[in-house]
Amino acid sequence: MGREFELRKEVELDATPEQVWAAIATGPGIESWFMGPYEVEPREGGAARLTVHDSVDESTVTAWEPPTRLCTRGAEAEDGTFHAFEYIVEGREGGSTVLRFVHSGFLGGDWGEEYVAQTGHGWDMYLHTLGEYLTHFPGKAGTFVYAEGPRTADGSRAWPRVAEALGIPESVPRGAAVLLTPEGLPPVKGVADYTVPGHPDFLGVRTDNALYRFHGHGDTVVVGHHLFAGDADRDTEDRAWKGWLDRVLG
């Protein structure tokens, strides 16, 4: 039996409404803090298409009011499942902007409060990443790097093994200087810009030219990085991080 759901978030961003709009309503902007490649047809009724490896998620733009309001809605599945997103952008005195975000829709099957809670944690991280992007890399186009690790054979939590392989404690305080040392990959020196007390499986690290993101999901870990170096190659980076996760968790 399915159910309706709605998630609401609000963040204040150190950017103008026009800068926020470019980040949430253009392909290069979205890839710089969320996922990608992303294509957006800039009009009501246009298509919004997200591609991650072989997976394609296509939505319809249901409201296009630059630079204040953007809405998209995905196709409805046979069981009635669909997802809709609304972004409301409001400028404030002094040059900052408030972004109000709503993720709503219908969940099929047995999904319930657990899905809503997990998705809420995910959006907290993505919207924080949006703020980091607008503050530290405004106007730059990021390359999104994505890789999923295998599930641990014994069903144990994957994050402790990944943290050990990165050369860090299982829990890192926000604001701490960190040096990640993934074997076979260049070291990553930066600051832990995103951590969640009680949820050490989420970790964000900001460097001079990247936003690194690690998502723990019980017996596996997913990485979703945003690289702002001009020579970053998506396919090469995807393979490198996938290979590393396979070695650590396989």
**Residue 1 clears pLDDT 80, i.e. is over it:** no
**Residue 33 clears pLDDT 80, i.e. is over it:** yes
User: Quick one: average pLDDT of 69-89?
Assistant: 95
Query: Do 47 and 120 fall into the same domain?
Result: yes
Tens of pLDDT, residue by residue over 86-128, are: 999 999 988 899 999 999 999 887 666 777 888 998 999 999 9
Percent of the chain's residues with pLDDT above 90: 88
Domain count of the chain? 2
Query: Do 92 and 203 fall into the same domain?
Result: no
**Residue 83 clears pLDDT 80, i.e. is over it:** yes
Query: Do 192 and 242 fall into the same domain?
Result: yes
The domain boundary residue, chosen from 83, 102, 136? 136
The domain boundary residue, chosen from 101, 136, 171? 136
Cα separation of the two ends of the chain: 36
The residue segments making up the domain with residue 50 are: 3-136
d(CA 212, CA 190): 10
| SS3 call for 11 | strand
DSSP string, 139-189: TPPPEEEEEEPPPPTT---SHHHHHHHHTS-SS--TT-EEEE--TTS--EE
The domain boundary residue, chosen from 136, 168, 193? 136
d(CA 167, CA 78): 45
The overall average pLDDT reported for the chain is 95
Token output for 199: 């949820």
CATH code, domain carrying 79: 3.30.530.20
CB count in 10 Å sphere of residue 91? 16
Query: Do 104 and 151 fall into the same domain?
Result: no
CATH code, domain carrying 184: 3.30.530
Residue 2 near residue 79 (C-beta atoms within 8 A):
yes
Query: Do 109 and 71 fall into the same domain?
Result: yes
Residue 10 near residue 98 (C-beta atoms within 8 A):
yes
Residue 161 near residue 152 (C-beta atoms within 8 A):
yes
The pTM for the full model equals: 0.95
User: Quick one: average pLDDT of 187-204?
Assistant: 94
Query: Do 123 and 175 fall into the same domain?
Result: no
